[in-house]
């Protein structure tokens, strides 16, 4: 699956302003869909997505799983603690084994900065970065942008201050 944004979502910096607006404009109607009695749409029907989490995460993992299911994708959750990684299998071997099962996309959360990009270069499936070390968490950044746009009705000209430990925060990138 490749579209106007390319094969993978690894970070926000490579995206143009128009591409970010396209993502936000596409996401906007799903807020209303989430309020309906029937929250499913057929957008990803037939797609298989693996959530590959090498770090504990509740909000990010569950958010992806809910979104995938609401888009009608088949979803498989793999925690590193319950996989062959504990026996020494590498990240690439794990992904290639999953790819052999004809998956379409991997959502990865990993403690090593650059892990999502490393994986994307080595597999054919689409890769979405759900946070890699202190590098980046692009989907959180997009959610933050959507929230800002909803509140202020614009993004252009806004100044944002991020407080806390930004040196070790993938969200601040």
Active-site positions? Answer: 59-60, 87, 109, 137
Residue 65 pairs with which residues in a beta bridge?
A: none
Give the span between the Cα atoms of 132 and 135, in whole angstroms. 6
Asked if 95 and 85 touch (Cβ cutoff 8 Å), the reply is: no
Q: How far is CA 112 from CA 34, 53, 127, 130, in A?
A: 33, 12, 15, 12
Give the span between the Cα atoms of 147 and 31, in whole angstroms. 11
């Amino acid at each position: 699956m490749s579209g106007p944004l390319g094969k993978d979502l690894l970070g926000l910096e490579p995206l143009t302003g128009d591409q970010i607006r396209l993502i936000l404009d596409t996401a906007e109607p799903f807020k209303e869909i989430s309020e309906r009695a029937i929250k499913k749409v057929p957008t990803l029907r037939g797609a298989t997505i693996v959530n590959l989490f090498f770090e504990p995460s509740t909000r990010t993992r569950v958010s992806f799983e809910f979104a995938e299911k609401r888009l009608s994708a088949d979803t498989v959750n793999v925690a590193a603690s319950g996989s062959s990684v504990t026996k020494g299998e590498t990240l690439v071997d794990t992904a290639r084994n999953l790819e052999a099962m004809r998956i379409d996309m991997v959502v990865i959360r990993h403690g090593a900065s650059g892990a999502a990009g490393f994986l994307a270069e080595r597999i054919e499936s689409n890769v979405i970065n759900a946070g890699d070390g202190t590098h980046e968490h692009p989907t959180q950044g997009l959610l933050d942008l959507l929230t800002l746009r909803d509140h202020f009705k614009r993004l252009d000209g806004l100044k944002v201050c991020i407080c806390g430990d930004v040196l070790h925060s993938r969200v601040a990138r």
